[in-house]
Structure 1
Amino acid sequence: MRNTFCKKPLWEVNDHLVRVAQGKEPADTVIRHAKLVSVTTHEILEDADIAIASGRIAYIGVAGHTAEHCIGEKTTVVDATGLYATPGLIDSHIHIESAMLGPSEYARAVVPHGTTAILADPHEVANVRGLDGVKSMWEDAARTPLKTMLTTPSCVPAVLGVEDTGSSIDASQVAQSMTWPETYGLGEMMNFPGILNNEPNATNEVRETLKADRRVTGHYSVPESDRGLAAYIACGVSSCHESIGIDDVVAKLRMGMWVQLRYGSAWHNLPVYLPPLLQMGIDLRHCLLCSDDNHPNTLVSDGHMDRILREAVRLGCDPVTALQMASINCAEYLGIGEDIGSITPGKCADIVLMRDLTNFEAKRVYIDGDLVALNGKACFEVTPFAWPEFMTNTMNLGREITADTFRIPAPTANGTTDIDGPTTCKVRTITVDPGQTITRNTICTAPVQDGAVCADPATDLLKLCVFDRHHGAEGTHAFGFVHGFGIHGALAQTVAHDAHNLLVMGDNDEDMALAARTLIQCGGGEVAVADGKVLALVELPLCGLMSDLPAEQVAAKVEKVEEAWMAMGNTMPSPFMTMGVMSLACVPELRLTNRGYVNCVTFTMEDLIVA
């Protein structure tokens, strides 16, 4: 047992719990008359009592038994008549930075929704500021009751040799991080080609994690379910949240993997995978719920794990099974089921009292027996964190951005640009589909004007550019095209997975230049521009990824940006999140980094102009 995130380890208080359970000493808190959701037996136990002492559950009164014998003069008694008592909800895979909030503000946003623990992979910050940045994040996280468990980023950079990041992490650093008390595993191993080819650093990162008896989380994003998948799992990777189709999900489950069914702001895989799993009668004990990436306005307006539970039930899953996937399954996967994941004697008192099992509205939330949220509001304060300076000065392009920066010279047969040359040319294009991380590698026809290849708003062909923002004048940039966003104007963001370079997209060079300059001036973020005007801006001064403002204020800014997107012509959900993975060089089929196009099936570079 890790005992890291418990108020007190079981070995330290087991004798006290023995006395409380027998009524020889009073409990700190007794919850009475709840409908106890037993995730260990898949039951709802009516009129149950729960006695809490030293942050742990000492006794549960069920089948006609009560906890009256545990009540003393100083015991806090909570009447939970009509409420359901569920284990605290666990997000099995989350990137805090995607919410554009610091960890403590993130905790304030999610705990009132019943979330008591998260398994967080901070590879966004790590790609900008390495393990020092990760340490800063967890210093902030430690100031709240949320159990923020770390999975050390494994892929910094995500794929070797195709992009330039602000930092790097190798196997020796992974080994060092495994000694940290907050570390529970290795972050998603996106570099599956490195595993399959026995690339030393990738396999050694897994080896160091296994040596420390920690879990290796995965990201196997190819439609291959035979030798490659078997090899990936045999290496030690034990979970995956990135599948291509239901056949891949089933194959992973059959090979013993734990599969995370994802439902975030933009990536809606749960509705694709859960109904067929239920129809096939597949045992869901190895299925976990996760959000992966959530925008702040999703957290503020719709919720966190409670939102995912609502969707699971809407899709036909019974509520207790859904709760199992958000509690005990995750705890057992992590090897910490002796401490969290169920409401049973000896476990940490991470308990949510819910109004019902349809909306999963949390009325009271307890972590280690302490009331941390009441009626949708956090019971703990979050003061501004003193971030070190190296976390706030991360925009280093070393160049002046003008409209001419975005000019793409049109090629001719002799390799020179000719303003009287062809009026069109074929360009390799990233085609996106709403709500999906997978892209398509397509070829489109782009207009040529005055010797330059241009965007074509009439066919929804937008220009794309990625600038290295980490290495100053030595940095490079590359051009591409994208289809599927349908906007007029330009958009830019420094949330650009995973190197988080400056990503700019638009249908004209003037607006693209204004968008880029705006983010350089404010230290990073997200911006929408049209016809020479900034329509909306979210400033993210912390590594160009996170704000230092409260969640509600950040959510309001993001909402204005999304309104600007719609005014510009976009209709897809969470478009900035979809735009942010245009440079994610480990997910098929085609991506653009600061070095150029990457074919994420063959992991080779591709030319922009197609002969």
Structure 2
Amino acid sequence: RLAEEAWDKMGRGVFLELKPDALQVSIPYFLEKGLQDWSNMSVTTDDRDALASLKLGTMDYNIKVALRAGAPLEATYAMASYYPARHWHIEDQVGAIAPGRSADIVLLSDPEKVAITDVYADGELVGDDGKYVGPIPEIEYPDWAHDTMNVGREIVAEDFAVRVPAGTDKATVALLEPFYFEDEFMTATLDVDADGNVLRDEAQSISKVGLTDRYQGKGAVSAMFWQNIGPTTPGSAASCSVAHDLHNIWSVGSSDRAMAMATNKVAEMDGGCALVREHKVVASVRYEIGGLMSQRPAQEVAADIEAMYDQADRMEWHGENPGWPHRMIAAFLTASPWKWVLVAPYEGNPDGFVNLITGETHAVAWAAE
């Protein structure tokens, strides 16, 4: 489906910016279709954390993926330089090594293997045989960039409760999963405890997802049920302030208490990721700049990420992709293609469940008939 969509968009004149996952499926499809002109696309790096960047590379990794998928050699390198420069109408400034243009220069011993020997930036040697040898600038961000988690209070387990009237044995719930494209949300029938709290169902691979507002200082929390995502280990949760596009704090967990603990840890750090297992914070990564990035050395951030992944690998998870739930970062995308999305509560929609296309809202749980 992704390759067909890319082909359709390119045929309509859309300039493609393809990440590695898309490159691997799209390029073989383009070759099958007999594509001759590759100039309306680029290879791009997006949402690659410090650990992946240090282990895999950045633009060089994208080029390797494109070449392995079968893209022509010359076109692939142009997809990383000239083609995007031309698309953004800055080809008179960058995108090629030519008089009057600015260019960082990458020297390779084997272009087909993307074997880099030297890198020059601003005319200075900064990469020598795989090692960075240039200066490391000290970057200071203003105070307001550090203090962006305005949750306003400590989040508690009850904030994530999904309730129906007490005395109800069964509830029908709205159900989502990451990257759910259909026009109508799914539903499921779940048990309800004596106090009216709707319960998760591990047998159906149904977990709970929450979203905490980080802007208004009112501690507003929305919660609903999702499937095929999140930990099954008792008393566990994952939480993060990277949640496209509003970047409120998402959490997913096997207990409301664990979700509250993970959310509070993220807020306490001024942003980042937190992992809770058996109601203990076992790992965290601090993204102190806007809750999205860090000014710490990449190696330091990468070490924290690797430690978090290691702890996540010791847990049990729903779905086909066990481990730290990377997909949740983009699962709250506040634009199409998905229709129904969980957002932070707002006036007129206390549950935060909304159709982004129509503006229609809906309850997240109701008594089963």
Common fold by TM > 0.5? yes
* Range into which the TM-score falls when normalised by the shorter chain: 0.7 to 0.9
In structure 1, the residue matched to 2:341 is: 591
Q: 1:347 to 1:387 in 2, by over 3 A?
A: closer
Q: Superposed, which structure 2 residues align to 1:97-176 within 5 Å?
A: none
**Deviation (angstroms), 1:332:** 1.2
1:464 maps to 2:213 = no
Alignment equivalent of 2:25, drawn from 256, 261, 272: 272
Mapped pair 1:478 → 2:222? yes
**CA distance 1:448–1:358, shift in 2 (3 Å):** farther
Matches within 5 A, 1:173-188: none
- State the shift of 1:576 in Å: 4.1
Residues 355/457 of structure 1: CA separation in 2 closer, same or farther (3 Å cut): farther
Q: Partner amino acid for 1:485?
A: I
SS at match of 2:209: strand
Equivalent position amino acid for 2:123 in 1: G
**1:407 equivalent in structure 2:** 161
**TM-score normalised by structure 1 residue count:** 0.54
The residue type paired with residue 454 of structure 1 is L
Task: Tell me the distance in 2 between the aligned counterparts of 1:250 and 1:388.
Answer: 43
Which residue of 2 is the match for residue 427 of structure 1? Answer: 173
Change (3 A) 1:517 1:476: closer
* Aligned CA distance change for structure 1 residues 486 and 539 (closer, same or farther; 3 Å): closer
1:363 Cα deviation from its structure 2 partner: 1.3
In the alignment, what sits opposite 2:56?
302
Query: C-alpha displacement at 1:466, in angstroms?
Result: 1.0
Residues of 1 paired with 2:46 and 2:175: CA distance?
26
Aligned to 1:312: 66
For residue 393 of structure 1, the aligned residue among 133, 147, 164 is: 147
Deviations 1:23-75 (A, max 9, x none): xxxxxxxxxxxxxxxxxxxxxxxxxxxxxxxxxxxxxxxxxxxxxxxxxxxxx
| CA 1:551–1:336: 2 relative to 1, 3 Å | same
Q: Which amino acid aligns with 1:606?
A: H
Pairing of 1:351-362 with structure 2 (within 5 A)? 351-362=105-116
Segments of 4+ in structure 1 off by > 6 A?
Answer: none
Q: Does the Cα contact within 8 Å between 2:230 and 2:237 map onto a contact in 1? A: no
Deviation at 1:583, TM superposition (A): 2.2
Partner residue of 1:501 out of 248, 270, 278:
248
1:383 offset after TM fit, Å? 4.0
8 Å Cα contact 1:456-1:507 kept in structure 2: no
- Asked if the contact 1:431/1:439 (under 8 Å) is kept, the reply is no
Structure 2, unpaired ranges of 5+? 346-351
Q: Report Cα offsets for 1:311-363 as digits up to 9, x if no partner.
A: 11111122222112111111111222233223345543432111312331321
In 2, Cα distance between equivalents of 1:577 and 1:350: 32
**What corresponds to 1:175 in structure 2?**
none
1:491 counterpart residue number: 238
- 1:131-190 residue CA offsets vs partner (Å, 9 max, x unmatched): xxxxxxxxxxxxxxxxxxxxxxxxxxxxxxxxxxxxxxxxxxxxxxxxxxxxxxxxxxxx
Q: Tell me, yes or no, if the aligned pair for 1:519 and 1:527 is still in contact at 8 Å.
A: yes
Please name the residue that 2:295 is paired with.
Answer: 548
Q: For residue 204 of structure 2, what is the amino acid of its counterpart?
A: T
Q: Which of the two has greater strand per residue?
A: 1
Q: Are 1:568 and 2:320 matched, yes or no?
A: no
Whether contact under 8 Å (1:582, 1:592) holds in the other structure is no
AA aligned to 1:572 is N
Count of residues in correspondence between the two structures: 351
Q: 1:605: which partner in 2?
A: 361
Residue 174 (structure 1) aligns with: none
Q: 1:69-108, aligned counterparts within 5 Å?
A: none
Q: Distance in 2 between matches of 1:305 and 1:569?
A: 33
Paired residue for 2:2? 245
Partner letter of residue 428 of structure 1?
A
Say whether residues 1:581 and 2:330 are aligned partners.
Answer: yes
Asked whether the 8 Å contact 1:306–1:359 carries over to 2, the reply is no
Cα offset, 1:501, TM superposition: 1.3
Task: Give the one of 446, 449, 454 matched to 2:190.
Answer: 446
Structure 2 length normalisation: TM-score? 0.88
Query: Which residue, out of 117, 121, 132, partners 1:378?
Result: 132
The residue number in structure 2 matching 1:260 is 17
CA 404–260 in structure 1, closer or farther in 2 if over 3 Å, else same: same
8 Å contact from structure 2 (residues 315, 323) kept in 1: no
Deviation by residue 1:207-247 (Cα, 9 ceiling, x = unmatched): xxxxxxxxxxxxxxxxxxxxxxxxxxxxxxxxxxxxx6333
Q: Percent identity?
A: 29
In 2, the alpha carbon distance for the partners of 1:444 and 1:568 equals 25
Q: Say if 2:246 and 2:334, in contact at 8 Å, map to a contact too.
A: no
Q: How far does the alpha carbon of each residue in 1:294-322 deviate from its partner, in whole angstroms, 9 at most, with x for none?
A: 11111010001111111111111222221
2:349 is matched with none
Q: Which shifted more, 343-352 or 456-465?
A: 343-352
In the alignment, is the contact (CA less than 8 A) between 2:276 and 2:283 conserved in 1?
Answer: yes
Q: What is the identity, as a one-letter code, of the residue corresponding to 2:313? A: M
Bigger Rg, which one: 1
Deviation digits for residues 234-285 of structure 1 (CA, Å, limit 9, x no counterpart): xxxxxxxxxx63333223222322111222xxxx222221111111112211
- In structure 1, the residue corresponding to 2:93 is in which secondary structure? coil
Q: For the residues of structure 2 that align with 1:301 and 1:480, how far apart are their CA atoms?
A: 36
In 1, Cα distance between the equivalents of 2:49 and 2:245? 17
Return 5+ residue gaps in structure 1 as ranges.
1-243, 411-416
SS in 2 for 1:528: strand
Q: Report the CA distance shift for 1:508/1:532 in structure 2 as closer, same or farther (over 3 A).
A: same
Q: Is the 8 A contact 2:209 2:224 kept in 1?
A: yes
Q: 1:349 to 1:538 in 2, by over 3 A?
A: closer
